[in-house]
Amino acid sequence: MQETQLNLRHLQQELETIEIQQLLSDPDDQMGTLVTIAAEGDGAEAQDWAYVLMRLYWNWGKNHNYQVHLVEIVDGDGGGINYATLEIVGRYVYGFLKSETGIHQLQRISPFNANGNLQTSLARVEVIPILDESLNLEIPEKDLEITKWRWHDGGVNRSETWVKVFHIPTGITIFCDQERSQMHNHEQALAILKSKLWALMQSQGVQDVTAIQPSRIKSLSEKPIREYILHPYTRAKDLRTHVETTSVRKVLNGNIDLFIKAYLQQQYQIWE
């Protein structure tokens, strides 16, 4: 009986995934994705909330049998993270997760405040498709500022592995330190940058990276899209589709397909 119930749950999950896939028609939808989570604020509350969201998307990817890789992370001062980027690889990952771009708001009793005050924390999520390797995007060298850390100690050169790439025209900065070699971090940082620039090119309708207009860069990730309330009651609610659930803990563990499906259904009705 337990085995039958487990198989039934797996079949239900597969059916749910197939139903969502039917709503994905854009060529980019089949690509893998880069998910960047950033704390909106310097305090421990926002940094902890950003970490919780990073774990949410990590769990979502693993629950759907996708490859999940941490490619970029900057830790917060008091715990949590300032920002991080996950690479999630598999078919339809971008199509599923593109609905997550925006501001995510958490309301809870602060674990960092001895008075037990109610606290609101914000984090920003940005989701972009991973650039197809067949698309050769050339970035002029003069537009790049690349920093590689070296530390000299007693005449012995010891290299750290992190690499920071700054794209001067757009102000985009990528910091990678998760690979074992500096060369691989360099390659990863450039790959992320190219994906971000390609997404900007698509949004502005231009054919060359040098044609991107920084003044026209308007981030969809600035728009509030979802709230998560843990006190005085429990609720997770999408502010676009108004779909909500009281099972907030399940949502924070990666169970967000109800929000994804509702968003895609809403967009499908708009397109019709």
pLDDT (tens digit per residue) in 62-118: 999 999 999 989 888 877 999 999 999 998 999 999 999 999 999 999 888 777 788
pLDDT at 150: 64
Q: What is the pLDDT of residue 148?
A: 85
Paired sense of beta strands 81-89 and 67-75, if any: antiparallel
Domain membership of residue 256 (yes or no) is: no
Q: Which of 156-160, 227-231, 268-272 has the highest mean pLDDT?
A: 227-231
**Cβ atoms 87, 209 nearer than 8 A:** no
Instruction: State mean pLDDT over 188-193.
Output: 92
**Which CATH number goes with the domain that contains 223?**
3.30.70.1660
Tell me how far apart the alpha carbons of residues 11 and 5 are, in angstroms, rounded to a whole number: 10
Residue 10 lies in a domain: no
pLDDT at 222: 85
pLDDT at 113: 76
C-alpha triplet 23, 29, 34: angle, nearest 5°:
135
Bigger pLDDT: 226 vs 116: 226
For 18-40, write each residue's pLDDT tens digit.
Answer: 767 777 878 888 899 999 999 99
How many CB atoms sit inside 10 A of residue 102's CB? 21
In a domain, 245, yes or no: no
Residue 157 has pLDDT above 70, yes or no: no
d(CA 271, CA 265): 10
Structural domain harbouring 202: 24-227
Q: Is the pTM of this model over 0.75?
A: yes
Confidence of residue 220 (pLDDT cuts 50, 70, 90): low
Mean pLDDT computed over every residue of the chain: 87
What pLDDT was estimated at residue 160? 76
pLDDT tens for each residue of 244-254: 999 999 999 99
Cβ-contact 30, 24 below 8 angstroms: yes
CA-wise closest residue to 120 among 269, 253, 231: 231
Q: How many structural domains compose the chain?
A: 1
Residue 233 maps to a domain: no
Q: Is residue 208 part of a domain?
A: yes
Q: Strand 156-167 and strand 172-176: pairing?
A: antiparallel
Q: What are phi and psi of 23, to 5 degrees?
A: -90, 0
Domain membership flag for residue 268: no
Residue given tokens 């860069």 in the structure block: 217
| pLDDT of the residue at 169 | 95
Instruction: Pick 16 or 155 by higher pLDDT.
Output: 16
Which residue, 220, 224, 223, is CA-closest to 200? 220
Local confidence band at 16 (pLDDT 50, 70, 90 cut-offs): low
Task: Provide the pLDDT for residue 232.
Answer: 92
Give the sheet arrangement for strand 144-153, strand by strand.
144-153, 156-167, 172-176
93-97, 138-142, 155-159: range with lowest mean pLDDT: 155-159
Whether 160 is covered by a domain: the verdict is yes
Greater model confidence, 131 or 230: 230
Q: What proportion of the chain, given as a percentage, has pLDDT over 90?
A: 60
Examine the pLDDT at 2 and tell me if it is beyond 70: yes
Q: Give dist(CA 187, CA 198) in Å, integer.
A: 16
- Residue 196: the pLDDT is 92
Please report the pLDDT score of residue 54 as a whole number.
98
Q: Which residue has the higher pLDDT, 24 or 234?
A: 234
Residue 1 lies in a domain: no
Residue 102 contacts residue 221 (beta carbons within 8 Å): yes
